[in-house]
């Protein structure tokens, strides 16, 4: 299997005015793609080259000899989740099973949104804030730098980039405004609902399987075919 760089599932200008075309294009070209390009010579000609991106993140986690591989792979994977966690017609209160999970875990969507904002505000330096599903419930997590819940077996429903490069062109040092804009105008609850359904299906299949059976794998989130603007435009 050859790892390909996932495309952003919308055009670079589609998230304006919340995230500008220039900010999104710069983010993709000079951060995610740079990590992808740096990863290639590190895995080329090794057994790692045959792995999926998701498996590469897991296999390299915690191995000092693969630290550089893990950092690059994790950042590529994290950004893939981040792109899909946003939608031009997103934002606002959730619907469906995720809404029910948030209600059970936090009492209300408003309480969840407050705690999500607080987690992002309290996180020092670069990193990520996540909505994950684990042990039958949703949880808010943060990770530093290239840290990823994938390495800890958490099922990720949403991810928001807290590195300054994600928001500085549009929001300067106003991280709180960036996080609020994500929740109010961009968050892709449809993606979160699809991921939750996928993880629950795999969990039920594994629960029914014999103890010695191989667990049902949960593949990398589906990335719809996109038609972004030509990269040369940047």
pLDDT of residue 138: 95
Enumerate residues 6+ apart whose C-beta is below 8 A from 148.
57, 74, 77, 78, 128
Share of the chain residues as helix, strand and coil, in percent rounded to the nearest 5: 55, 10, 35
pLDDT tens digits for range 8-34: 999 999 999 999 999 999 999 999 999
Do the beta carbons of residue 60 and residue 66 sit within 8 Å? yes
Enumerate residues 6+ apart whose C-beta is below 8 A from 194.
221, 222
pLDDT of residue 70: 97
DSSP codes of every residue in 50-89: GS-HHHHHHHHTT-GGGHHHHHHHHHHHHHHHHHHTB-TT
- What is the share, in percent, of the chain residues with pLDDT greater than 70? 85
187 secondary structure, DSSP code = B
- What is the share, in percent, of the chain residues with pLDDT greater than 90? 77
Do the beta carbons of residue 73 and residue 53 sit within 8 Å? yes
Give the C-alpha separation, 132 to 110, whole Å: 18
- 3-state class (DSSP) for residue 207: helix
Is the pLDDT confidence value at 205 over 60?
Answer: yes
What average pLDDT score do residues 201-221 get?
Answer: 56
Instruction: For the chain, state the CA radius of gyration.
Output: 18
List the chain domain ranges.
Answer: 21-207
Longest dimension (CA), the chain: 53
CB atoms within 10 A of CB 1: 10
pLDDT of residue 215: 46
pLDDT of residue 229: 40
What average pLDDT score do residues 110-121 get?
Answer: 98
C-alpha 23 chain-centroid distance: 18
pLDDT tens digits for range 40-77: 999 999 999 999 999 999 999 989 999 999 999 999 99
Q: What average pLDDT does the chain have?
A: 88
Question: Could you give phi then psi for residue 196, rounded to 5 degrees?
Answer: -60, -45
CB atoms within 10 A of CB 32: 22
pLDDT tens digits for range 136-163: 899 999 999 999 998 876 799 999 999 9
- Is the dihedral angle over the CA atoms 221, 222, 228, 234 positive or is it negative? positive
Give the C-alpha separation, 103 to 171, whole Å: 30
Give the C-alpha separation, 173 to 153, whole Å: 32
Q: Which residue has the higher pLDDT, 220 or 201?
A: 201
| CATH T-level topology, domain 21-207 | minor pseudopilin epsh fold (3.55.40)
pLDDT grade, residue 228 (50/70/90)? very low
Do the beta carbons of residue 41 and residue 113 sit within 8 Å? no
């Amino acid at each position: 299997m050859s790892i390909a760089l996932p495309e952003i599932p919308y055009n670079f200008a589609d998230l304006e005015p919340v995230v500008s075309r220039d900010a999104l294009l710069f983010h993709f070209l000079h951060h995610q793609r740079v990590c992808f390009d740096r990863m290639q010579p590190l895995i080329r000609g090794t057994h790692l080259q045959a792995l999926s991106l998701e498996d590469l993140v897991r296999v390299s986690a915690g191995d000092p000899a693969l630290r550089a591989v893990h950092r690059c792979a994790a950042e590529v994977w994290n950004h893939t989740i981040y792109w899909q966690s946003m939608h031009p017609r997103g934002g606002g209160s959730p619907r469906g099973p995720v809404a029910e999970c948030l209600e059970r875990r936090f009492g209300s969507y408003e309480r969840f949104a407050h705690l999500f904002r607080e987690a992002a505000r309290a996180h020092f330096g670069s990193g990520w804030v996540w909505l994950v599903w684990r042990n039958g419930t949703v949880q808010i997590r943060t990770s530093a730098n290239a840290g990823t819940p994938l390495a800890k077996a958490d099922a990720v429903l949403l991810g928001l980039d807290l590195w300054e490069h994600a928001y500085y062109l549009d929001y300067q040092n106003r991280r709180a405004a960036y996080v609020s804009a994500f929740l109010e105008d961009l968050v892709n609850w449809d993606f979160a609902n699809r991921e939750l359904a996928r993880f629950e299906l795999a969990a039920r299949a594994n629960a029914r399987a014999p103890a010695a059976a191989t667990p049902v794998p949960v593949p990398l989130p589906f990335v719809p075919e996109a038609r972004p603007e030509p990269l040369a435009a940047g």
